[in-house]
Structure 1
Amino acid sequence: MSVKIGYARVSSRTQSLDVQLSALEQAGCTKVFSEKFTGTTTQGRDQLEALLDYVREGDVVVITKLDRMARSLTDLLKITGKLESKGVQLKVLDQSIDTTTPEGKMTYHILGAVSEFETSLRKARQRAGIDAALAKGEDSPFKGRPPSIDVDKVRETVARLGNKTHAARELGISRQSVYRLTA
């Protein structure tokens, strides 16, 4: 008898898992592992590791979308390789993938490749936008945060007090900042 084990993931702490958790519950998952962590790597994804340790032969891992499991084809293949070695199948709800069938396995590999391609395109577009903004020079939105510490005020306070530690205390900044700015 197969047991359905769910996995839900969002990329940032501000995103909600509710939609995925509801879909996994409706799919009949008896246990769900969920986390808020980037999908670009498998390192640090404790709940994914816990899921991979938990599943047993005959279980089915259920996810809502393929990119919830991994963003790169390499990671996706590693994860499903671990699942396959344990005799565990994968079911992707929104993309109708079910690796218990040959067709499902083929669809899974095709969509995994397309997903990685989309991620690469998105990164390339983002990089092109940043490069274009940087090319604007002073008008670039990527010039960094304005300095929050007035260097002249730091030097003046150190000269007046004669002590870098006291100057840091008076200005409410770290000693390291005072030393860095007066070096």
Structure 2
Amino acid sequence: MRVGYARVSTNDQNLDLQLIALRKAGCDKIYSDLGISGAGFSRPGLQQALNALNSGCTLVVWRLDRLGRSLPSLIHLVEELGRRDVDFQSLTESIDTRSSGGRLIFHMMAALAEFERSLISERTRAGMEAARMNGKHLGRPRALSMADIMQARRALSSGTPPQIVADTFGVSSRTLRRYLRTSEGFH
């Protein structure tokens, strides 16, 4: 069985071109979403299409971007379909995982997506390292400054209960203990 899926982002757009192409491609059932973004995969028509697929079926779309905009997410979805023994076909890009050539094209796209993720990760790490070398603090702002820690130590040594000291600085007693422990050599 061939299951078609069509989507347009706005209610002003028309599904006709996609529906005609899907019918011409021999789709037995066609599901659609009207006026729904392709950013996420939580769409009623898409869920119906995915639920209609059984082993040996093929999911058919007019164009890849009708299924989704994120290449890594598309790859994940098509790989999940493959695990269910469901094939995938995109009419415009001529991707058909039923053929060895179609699987090759799809895997090349997956490799490019993985390469892109690696480049982004490398750039992020390099940017973080450069920021660290320039003395910038990365991550969440510190809950307590060194002056706060010293003031907390004085309050605790004068007998103020830890919970009251923590409340004074707007942190939990656990956070206060962690800061006191990690700053041991800095009094």
**Where on the TM-score scale, by shorter chain, does this alignment land: which range?**
0.5 to 0.7
Q: CA offsets, 1:92-117, max 9 Å, x none?
A: 11111110122212213445758xx8
- What TM-score do the two structures reach when normalised by structure 2? 0.55
Q: How does 1:121-132 map to 2 (within 5 A)?
A: none
Count residues in correspondence: 112
- The equivalent residue for 2:46 is 48
Q: Is the contact between residue 64 and residue 90 of structure 2 (CA under 8 Å) also seen in structure 1? A: yes
The correspondence for 1:91, drawn from 75, 89, 92, is: 89
Aligned Cα RMSD in Å? 1.8
User: SS state of the match for residue 57, structure 1?
Assistant: coil
Q: CA offsets, 1:38-81, max 9 Å, x none?
A: 111112x1111111111000011111111111111121022112
- The equivalent residue for 2:73 is 75
- What TM-score do the two structures reach when normalised by structure 1? 0.57
Q: CA offsets, 1:126-161, max 9 Å, x none?
A: xxxxxxxxxxxxxxxxxxxxxxxxxxxxxxxxxxxx
**Cα separation, partners in 2 of 1:9 and 1:19, compared to 1, 3 Å:** same
Distance 1:39 1:110 in 2: 22
Q: Is the contact between residue 98 and residue 104 of structure 1 (CA under 8 Å) also seen in structure 2? A: yes
Look up the equivalent residue of 1:56 and give its one-letter code: N
Look up the equivalent residue of 1:40 and give its one-letter code: A
Distance 1:47 1:33 in 2: 5
- The equivalent residue for 1:131 is none
Q: Is the contact between residue 3 and residue 52 of structure 2 (CA under 8 Å) also seen in structure 1? A: no
User: SS state of the match for residue 13, structure 1?
Assistant: coil
The percentage of counterpart residues that share the same residue type is 36
User: Is 1:25 aligned with 2:23?
Assistant: yes
- Please tell me whether Structure 1 or Structure 2 has the larger radius of gyration of its CA atoms: 2
Deviation above 2 Å: which 4+ runs of structure 1?
108-114
Q: Is the contact between residue 52 and residue 82 of structure 1 (CA under 8 Å) also seen in structure 2? A: no
Distance 1:49 1:73 in 2: 19
**Cα separation, partners in 2 of 1:42 and 1:92, compared to 1, 3 Å:** same
Look up the equivalent residue of 1:32 and give its one-letter code: I
Q: Is the contact between residue 7 and residue 61 of structure 1 (CA under 8 Å) also seen in structure 2? A: yes
Q: Is the contact between residue 9 and residue 34 of structure 1 (CA under 8 Å) also seen in structure 2? A: yes
- The equivalent residue for 1:60 is 58
